[in-house]
Amino acid sequence: MVQILGLILLSFVVISVLLVPYINLLYKLKFTRQKQKTRDIFEVRTHIFDKLHEHKFGTPVGGGALIIFVVTVLYFLATTLMPYLGIERTSIYPFKKEFQILLFTFLSFGALGLYDDLRKTFGFKKEKFWGLRFRVKFLFQWLLALAVSAYLYFTLGIDIVNVRFFDVIDLGIFYIPFAAFTIVAFANAVNISDGLDGQASGLLFISLIALLIMSASILDTTLSIFLGLWIGSLIAFLYFNVWPARIMLGDVGAMSFGATLAVAGLLLGKPIGLIIIGGMLVVEVASSLVQILSKKIRKRKVFGVAPLHLWLQYKGWEEPKIVSRFWLAQLMFAIFGLWLSFF
C-alpha cells in the first residue's frame, strides 16, 4: 500500500507539471468549448442548457486526453518496474489479461470520446455518418462494451455477480449483456455528469478511492496500481477543473473514465456495490433516462430540464453549491457501498 501511495503522488506531480502547458496548447489549437446551438438526442434545441452554460464557451476541453496519456505511460512503467519498486505482483486474474482489458477500455472509449470532442469543436457535419449522431455513437459504445464483456467472460472467466445478503449469482452467458449494459450506463453517466465545473471528476475521484480500498483488500496490485495512478492524476486535474474551470474533461475523458470505472467494478466482482459507490452518477443518468422515456412515451416532461444537476441549476441553485453537495452525497454512497461490500 505504501508503494501505491507513492504512485498516487507520482501521477499527481506529473499531471501538475504538464497541465498548464497543456491548457495553453489547447487554447493555441482552439480546442475549446464552442458557442453553438446544442440539441438533445431527439435533435430538439436545448435553449435552457445554452443559456445556463453560456459562460463556459471558450473553456478548453479534452483534459481527459492528458490524463489517459499520462496514466497509460506510467502504468506501463510501473508494472514493468514492479520488482524493482518492491511491489509484489498479486492479482485474482492473470496479470497480462487484466492489464490488457483495463487499457483497452481506457483507450478505446477515450478514442470514441475524442472523436466526438473533435466533431463538436471543429464542426464535422452531422448529416454524414462520421458526424457521429447520438445513435451511431451509442452503437459504437455497445460494440466496444460487448467486446470488453466477452473478454471478461471468455478470457477471464467472470460470470458471477456478488450480491450481499443474496450470496453469489451465476449469470452464465447472460453475464455478457449484463456487463455490457453496466459499461455503457457508466460511460454515459459520467458523460452526463460532466456538465458542471468539477462535478464529474470529483464524483469519479470519490468512487475510485472506494474501489482502491476494495482492490487493496484483496491484494489485486494490477488493478490497485492503475487506480492509484488514475486517482493521483484526477487530484491534480481537479485543481484546474473546480469552479470556475480552466479546463474540462471532455467526452474523451468522460466516456473513457465511466467505462473503465465500470470494468474496475466488474473485475472486483462487485457490480452491485459499484452502483451504490457511484450513486450520484447513477442518479444523474437515471434522471436523464426518465426524462427521455417520458418524452418518448408520454409526450411530456417529468422535469423542467434534465439531468438532475441542470434542473437544480434551472431552479436557481448556484453551480458550486450543486457540485459540493453532490460530492457529499457521493461520499456517503461510497461509504455505504464499502460497508455493504465488507459487511
Known binding-site residue numbers for Mg(2+): 191, 251
Phi, psi for 242 (deg, rounded to 5): -70, 160
Sign of the alpha-carbon torsion through 320, 55, 252, 292: positive
CB atoms within 10 A of CB 19: 22
The runs of H, that is alpha helices, within the chain are 2-29, 47-52, 63-80, 82-85, 95-122, 134-150, 175-193, 199-217, 221-241, 250-267, 271-277, 279-293, 308-314, 319-342
Burial tier of 28 (Cβ tally within 10 Å: 0-12, 13-18, 19+): exposed
What is the 8-class DSSP label of residue 245? P
- DSSP reduced 3-state for 132: coil
Cα 174 to the center of its chain, rounded Å? 24
Annotated binding site: 191, 251
Cα 63 to the center of its chain, rounded Å? 13
Q: Name the one residue in this structure whose C-alpha cell is 442548457.
A: 49
**Residue type for 130, please?**
W
